[in-house]
Structure 1
Amino acid sequence: MVGAGIGGVTAAVALEQCGWQVTVLERSAELGEVGAGISVWPGAAAVLEELGVEGVAKAARLGEAAGMRRWDGRWIVEAAELGIELPVMLHRAQLHQLITDRLGPAVTIHTGATVTGLTQDADGVTVTATRVGSGGAASGEAGAGGLEPGSAEYRAELVVAADGIRSGIRGLLAPEYQGPRYSGYTAYRGIAELEVEDSGGETWGRGQRFGFAKLIDGRIYWYATANREPGGADDDVKTLFANWHEPIPALLAATPNVLRNDIYDLPTPLLPFVHGRVLLLGDAAHAMTPNMGRGACSAIEDAGALARVLRAGKDLTAYDAERRPATTKLVKRSHQIGVLGQLDSKFACTLRDAVLSVGGKTAGLLAKRRKVEQSPV
């Protein structure tokens, strides 16, 4: 296993439960995730439950139906008009910890290990990794052990590459692949130390968006986007959204730390997820923009699909056949939502908001109709 993010540790749990001995190579010095919120949708929640990951419901808050507004607070689509399934919201680091808590004695994690080479033959795969400093760990306990710096080789029957959007394994497998493409906008994220009555939702402006949701402890996870050149100078996000409706300025004022990331995804067609005995998983396979909140959940679902394939004794290509079409749709749809949301022409935004308003009302009516039709007589 290469990579110990949410997708990697979920896959490690799944492989261990399938009877495998698992070695995880993580390039970061420590395990963990950045301090931001995450949506866990029903499909991913079902995989976690099947794997015995406990405490997700206790650590999470059920998402509330939240609408869409203009920058000045006027509603485009009100919450009551929406008829959609809802995720649960929790802190990303909490979810990562809940999953790593499920790791057993058959999983060993080495931190500070960067993969530099990979070769396959009929019997297995050899992975070469460079270790930096002390980075041995057992069962997710970073810091235990203590590996000497230098290079090491690992021999495996199967390698799962869960090493992110800039996957080194993907680069070794397909150096001709274009790799990540810039979306045209930057994202900002933070946790506001503030409780508000507003249930959250998204606000769309011209070339900028802002969304927020409550966590179980009452704090607010928020995210924002703005059209920018990649690698540009840091902006003051408080200034960017200073004139937007409340509670947006208040949330920003109550946020001690802001994360900023230029947003990239992988262009389609996606590479095959299976290359001999090497599998791509999560962002390494299908990195998508965050517009649907499905990236980490898709990685969790990848791990669930891999476990099903292994338990059934199917050829590994069955994993690709199930997951590549499904995630390709998500990559495309999320990219399209980003294009729509980041429009900056006044005319285009006015037309967009009007169409979304009508579409939201229609979707709400159809959802109510389905509920009536499905209700017992």
Structure 2
Amino acid sequence: MTRTRQAVVIGGGIGGLTAAVALHRRGLRVTVLERARSLQPIGAAISLSPNALHALDVIGLGDEIRDLAAWQGDAGLRTPGGRWISRSSAEAAAARFGGPLVLLHRSTLIDRLAAQLPPDTVRTAADAMLADPGDSDRPARVRTPDGELEAGLVVGADGIRSSVRGALFPRHPGPVYSGFTTWRVVIPVPGAEFSSHETWGRGRIWGTHPLKDGRVYAYAAAITPAGGHAADEKAELLHRYGDWHDPIPAVLAAARPEDVLRHDVHHIAEPLPAFHRGRVALLGDAAHAMPPTLGQGGNQAIEDAIVLAHHHDDLAAYTAARLPRTTGVVRQAVRVARLNLMTNRAGIAVRDTAIAALSKAGPALFLRGFDGIADWRPPMGASPARAKPRVGEAVCSQQTQVGER
């Protein structure tokens, strides 16, 4: 096989593995280099909206993921005291976007993606560095502890602190602090009964959602200075959310301090000039890290991967297809973060009243914020034919998904 038919993917996360599978299905020989010693991600869940599921259909995984995941149906938005501000309509969302929103553990998706690759495709504990982006006359080169690899395509899927991005665009300022931190837990909560919900307080939010395996996925976000950590993050959550409505106290009671993950949120505020240079393309957080307030970080990485495989021999077309779209999604995610993490009491009252009015007027009005995002389809020629959505497919609609990353 010639070097132009070889691809190296730097980063074995969701976006990198999706790209590897899609490129493999296009006939390229793929090597995935992952710095960590294992592909298993930090324990958290991910929400996949119809756009990502349609992308996974291209590589034959959409229906399998739909079957493995918890389908998100009716849900809603609440105040810390428990009052429902709005209730979503799964039927209205399904009619608008044509498929379900599902929730599953990230490790499940990673496992299913990795299983689609030939043996020995993925190399873990492989610290890789871009040595040369290449051009039309020479291949790209990637340096590893075991020597250099040459490839007709290198995919930088190495996350928000991407060294590949730094090598391609050294003058770009990189990610900035989004102004808030997040906590996430995936735990069993015996006896808990609840509807999926997201709760917006003053500069704080909380979300609780059931997983298909019986565990509960919960996440929280709060405006805090960057770099903060508590000696006991469970105690920190109890302090911030312990007096909020059920089932939040039950979730906190069931969590152990070691179950709680905390991460500051960063995003790329200044768009990159392009998502490629030479024979190298960027995707996911390496290209367009965003706040998780639309639940689209992983979803957009999956889209990137499918579009990149479609345009693997024309990276300028890849940039043209993805840069405007992801720039718009990043900006919308930033706007939503400002909305749901408001601190001004008067502004919060106006916000909640407006959301309640929109919800009463009809779920479809509220869903307009996801037009152009959840209804995305893969490029013509990239997607195999798939049967119409099965009876009961539905999309959870209005709530944001801060725990998505």
Residues 123-167 of structure 1: per-residue CA shift (max 9 Å, x gap): 1111113x4xxxxxxxxxxxxxxxxxxx62111111000000110
- Which amino acid counterpart does residue 128 of structure 2 have in structure 1? V
Alignment of 1:262-341 (within 5 A): 262-310=264-312, 315-341=314-340
- Which amino acid counterpart does residue 282 of structure 2 have in structure 1? L
Aligned-partner Cα distance in 2 for 1:173–1:316: 14
- Which amino acid counterpart does residue 34 of structure 1 have in structure 2? I
Query: Which among 219, 225, 230 is matched to residue 229 of structure 1?
Result: 225
Aligned-partner Cα distance in 2 for 1:285–1:42: 22
Corresponding position: 1:211 with 2:207: yes
Aligned-partner Cα distance in 2 for 1:345–1:82: 34
Secondary structure at the residue paired with 1:77?
A: strand
1:29 equivalent in structure 2: 37
**Displacement of 1:357 after TM fit?**
1.6
1:186 equivalent in structure 2: 181
Residues 49-68 of structure 1: per-residue CA shift (max 9 Å, x gap): 22123631221111022111
Residues 85-127 of structure 1: per-residue CA shift (max 9 Å, x gap): 441111111111011111124x622222223342124211111
Residue pair 1:186, 1:260 contacting (<8 A) in 2 also:
yes
Aligned-partner Cα distance in 2 for 1:212–1:282: 25
1:134 equivalent in structure 2: none
Change (3 A) 1:18 1:353: same
1:50 equivalent in structure 2: 58
Corresponding position: 1:108 with 2:117: no
1:135 equivalent in structure 2: none
Relative contact order: is structure 1 or structure 2 higher (C-alpha 8 Å, sep ≥ 6)?
Answer: 2
2:216 equivalent in structure 1: 220
Residue pair 1:81, 1:365 contacting (<8 A) in 2 also:
no
Secondary structure at the residue paired with 2:10?
A: coil
Secondary structure at the residue paired with 2:302?
A: helix
Where do 5+ consecutive residues of structure 2 fail to align? Answer: 1-8, 95-99, 368-405
Secondary structure at the residue paired with 2:310?
A: helix
Residue pair 2:76, 2:87 contacting (<8 A) in 1 also:
yes
Residue pair 2:359, 2:366 contacting (<8 A) in 1 also:
no
Corresponding position: 1:13 with 2:21: yes
**Displacement of 1:221 after TM fit?**
0.6
Q: Provide TM-score, normalisation by structure 2.
A: 0.81
Identity %: 41
**Displacement of 1:292 after TM fit?**
1.0
Aligned-partner Cα distance in 2 for 1:112–1:50: 29
Corresponding position: 1:68 with 2:77: yes
Aligned-partner Cα distance in 1 for 2:91–2:337: 20
Secondary structure at the residue paired with 1:178?
A: coil
Where do 5+ consecutive residues of structure 1 fail to align? Answer: 132-150, 369-377
Aligned-partner Cα distance in 2 for 1:255–1:52: 36
Change (3 A) 1:56 1:365: closer
Aligned-partner Cα distance in 1 for 2:210–2:238: 20
Aligned-partner Cα distance in 2 for 1:220–1:356: 26
2:251 equivalent in structure 1: 251
Residue pair 1:183, 1:264 contacting (<8 A) in 2 also:
yes
Residue pair 1:230, 1:262 contacting (<8 A) in 2 also:
yes
1:144 equivalent in structure 2: none
Corresponding position: 1:59 with 2:58: no
Aligned-partner Cα distance in 1 for 2:267–2:338: 13
Paired residues, what number? Answer: 344
Aligned-partner Cα distance in 1 for 2:361–2:324: 28
- Which amino acid counterpart does residue 160 of structure 1 have in structure 2? V
Aligned-partner Cα distance in 2 for 1:48–1:116: 28
Q: Provide TM-score, normalisation by structure 1.
A: 0.86
**Displacement of 1:41 after TM fit?**
1.3
Change (3 A) 1:244 1:51: same
- Which amino acid counterpart does residue 318 of structure 1 have in structure 2? A
1:353 equivalent in structure 2: 352
2:87 equivalent in structure 1: 78
Change (3 A) 1:243 1:367: closer
Task: Give RMSD over aligned pairs.
Answer: 2.0
- Which amino acid counterpart does residue 328 of structure 2 have in structure 1? K
Aligned-partner Cα distance in 1 for 2:346–2:92: 28
Aligned-partner Cα distance in 2 for 1:17–1:181: 36
- Which amino acid counterpart does residue 56 of structure 2 have in structure 1? L
**Displacement of 1:365 after TM fit?**
5.9
Aligned-partner Cα distance in 1 for 2:247–2:279: 51
Residue pair 2:70, 2:212 contacting (<8 A) in 1 also:
yes
Secondary structure at the residue paired with 2:180?
A: strand
**Displacement of 1:80 after TM fit?**
4.8
Secondary structure at the residue paired with 1:57?
A: helix
**Displacement of 1:226 after TM fit?**
0.9
Aligned-partner Cα distance in 1 for 2:127–2:102: 33
Residue pair 2:76, 2:84 contacting (<8 A) in 1 also:
yes
**Displacement of 1:363 after TM fit?**
4.5
2:395 equivalent in structure 1: none
1:177 equivalent in structure 2: 172
**Displacement of 1:82 after TM fit?**
8.8
Aligned-partner Cα distance in 2 for 1:189–1:220: 11
Change (3 A) 1:245 1:361: same
Aligned-partner Cα distance in 1 for 2:69–2:184: 18
